[in-house]
Amino acid sequence: MTSTDQDAATRPATFTVRSPATGDPVGEHPVHGPQEVARAVERARTAAAGWAALSAAHRRAHLLRWKRALASSLDAVAETIAAETGKPRGDAVLEVILTLEHLNWAARNADRVLRGRRVRSGLLAANQRASVVHRPLGVIGVIGPWNYPLYTPMGSIGYALAAGNAVVFKPSEHTPGTGVLLAELLASAVPEHAGLLTTVTGTGATGEALAGSDVDKVAFTGSPGTARKVMAVCARSLTPFLAECGGKDATIVTADADLDAAADAVVWGALSNAGQTCAGVERVYAVREVHAPLCRKVVERVRALRVGPVPDAVYGPMTMPAQTAVVRRHVEQALASGARALLGDATSMSTSTATSGTSGTSGTSAPSGVSGTSATSGAFVAPVVLADVPEDSPAMTEETFGPVVAINAVASVDEAVRRANASPYALAASVFCHDRRAGAAIAARLRAGAVSVNSVLGFAAVPALPFGGSGESGFGRIHGADGLRAFTAPQSVTVQRFTPPVNLTSFSTPAAARARAVAAARWLHRHR
């Protein structure tokens, strides 16, 4: 028996996905090993050849048919997302709508962005006609996250398909049903291209198998630590790698900002999806003269929210209960190092594993004392608003990924920019400033890959904008023209139109002619 056979024999055949809110099973899926992954990539390779051979117009038509199928199945897709992540149905519906917008843009703009284009040859190569074409890479491996199991991976899947590639998708083990449904909808909408999008399910070992398979590029979303592991696998075969690894996103509030608008945006950016948003709001830097009123407005808004295991809660439980320990540690260490708790603390945010039907919230506006609803869930976390958090605290340096926001006072916008840029992450940010031009100038000083002025996550709904970061936030871009090009290989082509007067790339050119050409080039570049 080979080691592969032994692995298959000891590997569980299936795994069960449970609701983060109730602990009830919501699906069972196969654990795909290296052999199944390799077969999926092989099928995708065959599909990719036929897909790339289609005209751009035909690919566009097929993708738009898929988009319409996805729109027609919006309720079913949203229900699957909500069941697997625990997020409210309204949040899941918004995720599907954003996905449709991006898929529509990718399908309709791929030809314009990727079609061959002429470039100037320059004087030295005036006899050459030069052009650039973008060729599909072939098969793209996509490893997706659990917090936005449709919108985020579709930033790679949809754009890779529009660029002429096939895709093998490994969704998070917490949200495999969303990935399976996505592939099924494409297969039913475009049955003549079987294998164009295949979903493989399993744990981290399945993702490792995909990264080590015969794919032509891997697009990954997850933590920096996991990204390093996946990248190490890709390095063995020099497989290109694109990584989006989260953020510690900052919001800057100037003295002339609309504080009501800023507070409203901070609350939504920090608490939506239970704070499990890579480009959400985790740090706020407000100039000193508006810090206190901004804090009051944020707390007032948070107090009015319904959270916990109630039907109309504004956010759901933590999708990964283990993340609660990270959130607790950040809050406890911040308070121990001198931070102030404006609302909530490590005690009020604590979860419980109560029996089904038990709730720590009575439906009132008070957000403290939340608890779970089953013995296997209990990851409802109450919101926490902190102030005066030391900049070296984990709550300011590490990704919290929970419903916690820190609001610190700064002496000036310059100080706010310095603090925002001091993070090892550089994914997203936002600026609130009455003067929009001044706000844009502040945005230009931030390291973040995407910045919104007078809103949060404004860029997420603009498909033409590239998205990605640097540092611990990863590298590469999805969305927009950059996202389309990310899944292609540019090919440069020159066609000689006529024989040059002096051929500098021939051993037969006389030395005197070569010297005259060099002298002419020297004179030209000294006087241009």
Active site residues: 244, 278
Identify whether the C-beta of residue 195 lies closer than 8 Å to the C-beta of residue 176.
no
C-alpha to C-alpha distance for 348 and 373, rounded to whole angstroms: 17
Cα separations in angstroms, 338 against 332, 392, 404, 514: 10, 12, 16, 74
| CA nearest neighbour of 18 among 96, 79, 85, 64 | 85
Q: What's the gap between Cα 321 and its chain centre?
A: 21
Task: Reduce the DSSP state of residue 343 to 3 states and report it.
Answer: strand
Q: At what angle do helices 34-53 and 204-211 cross, to 10 degrees?
A: 50
> Taking a C-beta distance cutoff of 8 angstroms, is the pair 247, 278 a contact?
yes
Are residues 482 and 155 in contact, defined by beta-carbon separation less than 8 angstroms?
no
Q: Characterize 100-132 residue by residue with b for buried, 16 or more Cβ atoms within 10 angstroms of its Cβ, and e for exposed.
A: bbbbbbbbebbeebbeeeeeeeeeeeeeeeeee
d(CA 195, CA 161): 12
Collapse the DSSP code of 235 into the 3-class scheme (helix H, G, I; strand E, B; otherwise coil) and give the result: helix
CB 342 within 8 A of CB 284: no
- HEC string for 447-481: CCCEEEECCCCHHHHCCCCCECCEECCEECCECHH
Name the DSSP class of 13.
S
457: left (phi over 0), alpha (psi -120 to 50) or beta: left
Least Cα distance to 56 among 189, 163, 193 occurs for 163
- 108: helix, coil or strand? helix
Radius of gyration of the chain (CA): 26
**Helix/strand/coil (H, E, C) string of 20-77?**
CCCCCEEEEEECCCHHHHHHHHHHHHHHHHHHHHCCHHHHHHHHHHHHHHHHHCHHHH
Cα distance between residue 12 and residue 428, in whole Å: 39
Whole-number Å distance between alpha carbons of 298 and 300: 5
Count of all residues that appear for the chain in the document: 528
Distance, CA of 151 to CA of 171 (rounded, Å): 12
